[in-house]
Chain A
Amino acid sequence: MSAASSRVGQALQAAVSAGAGTYLADDTKREIRICAGTACHASGRVALRKAIDAALEERGLAGDVAVVETGCHGFCEEGPIVVVRPEGVFYPRLKPVDIPEVIETSVMGDGVVERLLYVDPATGRRVAHEREIPFYALQKRIVLGLNGKIDPYSLDDYLAHGGYSALAKVLSQGDPQNIIAEVENSGLRGRGGAGFPTGKKWRLCRQNLGEKHYVICNADEGDPGAFMDRSVLEGNPHSVIEGMIIAAYAIGGGNGPVEGYIYVRREYPFAVDRVRHALDRARERNLLGKDILGSGFDFDIRVNQGAGAFVCGESTALTASIEGQRGMPRGKHVRTVAHGLWGEPTNINNVETYANVPFIVKSGADVFASTGTATSKGTKIFSLTGKVVNGGLIEVPMGATLREVIFEIGGGMLPGREFKAVQLGGPSGGCLPAALLDEPIDFESLLAAGSMMGSGGMVVVDDSTCMVDFAKFFLKFTAEESCGKCVPCRVGTSRMLEILERISEGRASLQDLDLLESLADDVVEGSLCALGGSAPNPVLSLLRYFRDEIVSHVVEHNCPAKVCRPLIRYGVDAEACTGCAACIAVCPVHAVSGERKAVHSIDEDLCIKCDACRRACRFNAVSVETGVLAPA
């Protein structure tokens, strides 16, 4: 044992020193970090990078100051994000024109450019460091710890921050059962949605014998409006790979061959690219492939891309997709751990689940389990989006309350808006109203409240969102994404959608609500897989918490959020209208008319209710009425 242990230790040392000189983890060095995540890319990091390079070149600093492109920092709302190290000065929403000033003040000098700093919306104060920004200060970042700190394209960077030491520890101990026990003791539960205990899954998979075992990482991230897995893969791909190798060793070590797959959605080109790159680098240094770190254990990982089917996140559909079939789930009477990919025992975990594993191995199960609640241990990443001030990626301890997350980290609602609901779990989850804001976030509490943990999507909506429309959105999504194999899901979701459409058009009766409820139960009961089994959840939570709003649609033809088009009417407020003609210019159907400096009017017969005029009006003179009209 000790011989093996020193061999692995030396091999890791060799892997680390193979890159020495190209990068040193020196936390005192002057360095500019630009976020190169998907969101910051969209808000202009390429132009920013060019400006930085040019400005450094001009000042003869090109070789001295390192420019590092990192993964997502989490605060995507404020992108593109630049952090100047070692002081860690945080510059949000930078523009290329600001760069020379930033470089002269913060890179060449020790100052900060006051006017470009982040303004804390609560206090109105400018803050210079990530740690002082409430968005970051209240988080607990275990999985995301290195996100935004390291260059995802650099294996050396990861190694310099203690990367792959968990793998070396596991391989030198050489006891797969022990790792499984450790993960079981840590209480880690799957982060992909269902919360199945990870250690137990590994044990079951190990017990099932086959010609081969498969270890798969589910990075399909089907929940639309969530990007946890994208950010982890983009920002720190090696942590997921290390977790997968450890899982593979726990399942296959001394138990036959193992092979790995990462199934990642095609919509994430950066994540795919970085994962592929990371796999190549790991192979070069013998962290992956044959005889990993001289331990005699073989394991390799292939990347498979999804093709835009939500249902492929479901484990049996995922394996079908890798096999080159239509991604249709099969019944769960045969478990994937026994009979998965190509009929062999298969372990499927979520990205975030794997990313937690190196931490557990390094720090021990107890340390991991010291965070969280009785049944849910560790932290959970959420992607906080919708109508909050600070949208982005957050990692909080299990047991934090929704209020803390939304109002303290998320900074609360946009000005002048009122909190209405928070939606968790995506198309499989439910909406929770303000009364439940003090619920702790853990698997059981959320389920009991009629929602679910899900994979981490958290969409906050305010009084301008119509809950009927919101439920309709989710149902339309699941009806479209239903693979069509089983009738309850294929037909049931469409019928439910029709009822919701009737409600939003003012053509429904109160009996429809009962029908909706009983249909929902049938779809839950009768569907083959969890897509149908959870598709009615958004509707059920709507019926449970927002019944008044539906009834008001049905009885009074009133859409309080003024969203459902058949129930609203546009008009001009004569008092406020200044006759500026801005609305006339934008109306796509020429429904607005009037002379300059005279009150305008909207022709209701022509109006298509596209909202363009209201958005264009700077005087709030376009009014929307509801509840008074009879349905067409």
Chain B
Amino acid sequence: MAIDNGRNDGGNGHKGDQAKGSALFEVIQGIDFERRELVGKRQGSGDFDLVKDNGGKDRCYACTLCERTCPVDCIDIGYTASDPMLGSAIAAPEDAAPPVDMKLFDPIIAGIRSGSGLVEALHATQEAYGFLPRPALEGIADQMNLPLSRIYGVASFYGQFRLKPVGKHVIEVCLGTACHVRGAPLVVEAFSQELEIPVGGTTPDGLFTLQTVNCLGACALAPVVRLGTDETVGRLGPNEARRLVRRLRKQEVRA
């Protein structure tokens, strides 16, 4: 079966010779990826149906993966910003403490208007609020004219975005290679025990959030821990970690 994709694209198409004979080749040869249309298959022959749970609820929660990966761009997920579907994944407005101050949002809108991308807008939002509050995400969705599900899809993909409020002190333990070989796992464990929260958790008093990060760029001082946005501490072993928590706790009591 020869592929007639209607043009000779100077070597940018897939390499037919190499893949010939494999099962993969059988599958992909019907698709001209570059023109993103099915060749040799009748268009519109599929019938879409969303699978329901036993209770009759849609199982789809609009992660938008299918929309992103569809080779022929035939799926369009169109949630509106007000749709309650996303449920508990994004912190509801009342979870957010303190209440979301929408004035902080104005510069973000200005940024979007001047052409900053979605990821940049999310960074700006997180910088303003410490996390990504739902009303702000809805605002971004409105501004960029994108479904909220799409914003959620992006926000949940990247490790640095937080959908829930964080504690006053954010402790980020580096788990990069250099820190790992110098004992960072023991440091994480020490923090976790001392604070009595798992990685990613926040203490009930709202004082501490424990997170891990992949390399802070100060590898020669491993193991490295970052406190908040600007304090970085190097050569911090598990015993020092426990002491650090106690020191911070004491400060809080005094304050």
- Mark A residues whose CB is within 8 Å of B: 38-39, 41-43, 76-77, 79, 221-227, 230, 266-269, 271, 304-310, 321-328, 331, 333-335, 338-339, 383, 385-387, 391-392, 423, 426, 457, 459, 461, 465, 470, 473-474, 477, 483, 485, 586, 588, 610-612, 615-616
Option from A224, A268, A307, A457 in Cβ contact (under 8 Å) with B119? A307
Q: Are B238 and A611 touching (Cβ within 8 A)?
A: yes
CB neighbors of A among B142-161 (8 A): 144, 153-154, 157-161
Tell me, in angstroms, the Cα distance from A392 to B15 when the chains sit together: 43
The residues of B that contact A269 with a CB separation of less than 8 Å are 229-230
Contacts of B123 in A (CB 8 A): 266, 305, 307
Whether B222 pairs with A385 at a CB distance below 8 angstroms is yes
Please give, as numbers and ranges, the residues of chain A lying within 8 Å of B222 by CB-CB distance: 385
Contacts A42-B234, A326-B154, A391-B220: A224 and B12 contacting too (C-beta < 8 A)? no
Among A305, A323, A326, A457, point to the contact of B153 (Cβ < 8 A): A326
Q: Say which residue of B119, B154, B181, B232 sits within 8 Å of A387 (CB atoms).
A: B181
Q: Could you list 5 examples of A-B contacts with CB < 8 Å?
A: A39-B234, A42-B224, A323-B117, A392-B220, A459-B177
Return chain B residues, CB-CB under 8 Å to A328. 68-69, 157
Chain B residues near A392 (CB-CB < 8 A): 220
A267 contacts across to B, CB distance below 8 A: 213-217
B12 surroundings in chain A (CB, below 8 A) = 333-335, 338-339
| Interface contact A39-B218, CB-CB below 8 Å | yes
Inter-chain contact A76/B218, CB cutoff 8 Å: yes
B residues within 8 A CB of A465?
Answer: 181
Asked, given contacts A225-B179, A324-B154, whether A333 binds B15 with beta carbons under 8 Å apart, the answer is yes
In this complex, the interface size class of chain B, counting residues with CB under 8 Å from chain A, is: 35 or more
Given contacts A327-B158, A333-B33, contact A43 B221 (CB under 8 A): yes
Task: Give A426 to B219 CA distance when docked, in angstroms.
Answer: 13
Q: A39–B220 contact, CB under 8 A?
A: yes
Cβ contact of A610, chosen from B119, B154, B190, B230, cutoff 8 A: B190
A37 to B234, CA, bound (A): 13
Q: Verify A457–B177 contact, CB threshold 8 A.
A: yes
CB nearest neighbor in B for A464: B181
How far apart sit A28 and B65, CA to CA, in the bound complex (Å)? 61
Task: Return the 7 tightest CB-CB contacts between A and B, nearest first.
Answer: A225-B177, A324-B118, A224-B176, A307-B158, A308-B159, A76-B220, A308-B160
- Nearest CB in chain B to that of A40: its residue: B218
**Interface membership of B168, Cβ < 8 A:** no
Which of A309, A335, A457, A470 contacts B157 (CB under 8 A)?
A309
Counting CB contacts under 8 A, is B76 at the interface?
A: no
At the interface, yes or no: B13 with Cβ under 8 Å from chain A?
yes
Which has the most chain A C-beta neighbours within 10 Å: B117, B153, B242?
Answer: B117
B219 lies within 8 A of A383 (CB): yes
Of all chain B residues, which has the CB nearest A224? B176
Contact A42 B181 (CB under 8 A): no
Given the known inter-chain contacts A39-B221, A79-B221, A387-B181, please indicate yes or no for A225 contacting B176, CB distance below 8 A: yes
Knowing A307-B119, A423-B177 are in contact, say whether A391-B214 is a contact too (CB < 8 A).
no
A residues within 8 A CB of B179?
Answer: 225
Q: Is the CB of A321 within 8 A of B177?
A: no
Q: Which of B158, B176, B180, B186 contacts A309 (CB 8 A)?
A: B158
Q: In the bound complex, what is the Cα–Cα distance between A324 and B178 (angstroms)? A: 31
Do A615 and B239 touch across chains, with their CB atoms under 8 A apart?
Answer: yes
Interface residue B72 (Cβ < 8 Å from any Cβ of A): no
Q: Is B164 an interface residue (CB 8 A)?
A: no
Task: List, in ascending order, chain B residues with CB within 8 A of A470's CB.
Answer: 180-181
B117 touches A304 (CB 8 A): yes
B15 and A38 within 8 A (CB): no
Chain B 182-198 interface mask (CB, 8 Å, partner A; 1/0): 11001001100110000
Which residue of chain B has the shortest Cβ distance to A465 in the bound complex?
Answer: B181
Cα-based distance from A276 to B122 in the complex (angstroms): 19
A266 touches B160 (CB 8 A): yes
A588 pairs with B193, CB closer than 8 A: yes
| B233 on the A face (CB < 8 A) | yes
Cα distance A76–B160 when bound, in Å?
26
A324–B117 touching, CB < 8 Å: yes
Give the complex CA separation of A75 and B215 in angstroms: 18
Interchain CB contact under 8 A, A615 and B237: yes
A-B pairs under 8 A by CB, number: 181
Q: Please tell me if B73 contacts chain A, counting CB pairs below 8 Å.
A: no
Residues of B within 8 A of A474 (CB): 177
> In the complex, what distance in Å separates the CA atom of A161 from the CA atom of B233?
34
Per-residue CB proximity of B218-255 to A under 8 Å, as 1/0?
A: 11111010000110111001110010000000000000
- Known interface pairs A304-B117, A325-B68, A588-B242; 9 further A-B residue pairs with C-beta atoms within 8 A, sorted by A's residue number: A39-B218, A42-B224, A79-B221, A309-B158, A327-B157, A333-B13, A334-B33, A459-B177, A615-B238
Chain B positions within 8 Å of A383 at CB level: 219
A423-B177, A615-B237 given; A42·B213 CB < 8 A: no
Chain A residues whose C-beta falls within 8 Å of the C-beta of B33 in the assembled complex: 331, 333-334
B175 within 8 A of A: yes
The distance in angstroms between the C-alpha atoms of A387 and B219, with both chains bound, is 11
Tell me which residues across on chain B come within 8 A of A426, comparing CB atoms. Answer: 177
| Cα of A41 to Cα of B64 in the assembled complex, Å | 41
B120 within 8 A of A: yes
Contact of B239 among A387, A461, A586 (CB under 8 A): A586
Bound-state Cα–Cα, A331 to B33, Å: 10
> Which chain B positions have C-beta within 8 A of A221?
215, 217
Q: Is the CB of A42 within 8 A of B233?
A: yes
B214 touches A308 (CB 8 A): yes
Cβ 8 A contact of A304, one of B69, B119, B224, B239: B119
- Inter-chain contact B232/A224, CB cutoff 8 Å: no
CB–CB B238/A325 < 8 A: no
* Distance (whole angstroms) from the CB of B36 to the closest CB of chain A: 10
Q: Which residue of B lies closest to A42 (CB)?
A: B232
Contact B220 A610 (CB under 8 A): no
Beta-carbon nearest neighbor of B194 in chain A? A588
Q: Is the CB of A610 within 8 A of B186?
A: yes
Is B14 at the interface (CB under 8 A from chain A)? yes
User: B120 contacts which chain A residues (CB < 8 A)?
Assistant: 304-305
Q: Are A39 and B181 in contact (CB under 8 A)?
A: no
Minimal beta-carbon separation of B193 from chain A (angstroms): 5
Complex-state Cα separation, A326 to B160, whole angstroms: 13
* Bound CA–CA A222/B160 (angstroms): 14
- Contact (Cβ within 8 A) B182 A308: no
Count chain A CB atoms within 10 A of each CB in B182, B215, B217, B233 and give the residue with the most: B217
Q: Quick check: A385 and B158 within 8 Å, CB to CB?
A: no
B34 within 8 A of A: yes
Q: How distant is the Cα of A391 from the Cα of B178 in the complex, in angstroms?
A: 10
Q: List A contacts of B219 (CB < 8 A).
A: 39, 76, 225-227, 383, 385, 391
Q: Which A residues are in CB contact (< 8 Å) with B230?
A: 269
Rounded to whole angstroms, the CA-CA distance of A610 and B241 in the bound complex is 13
Residues of B contacting A335 in the complex (Cβ-Cβ under 8 angstroms): 12
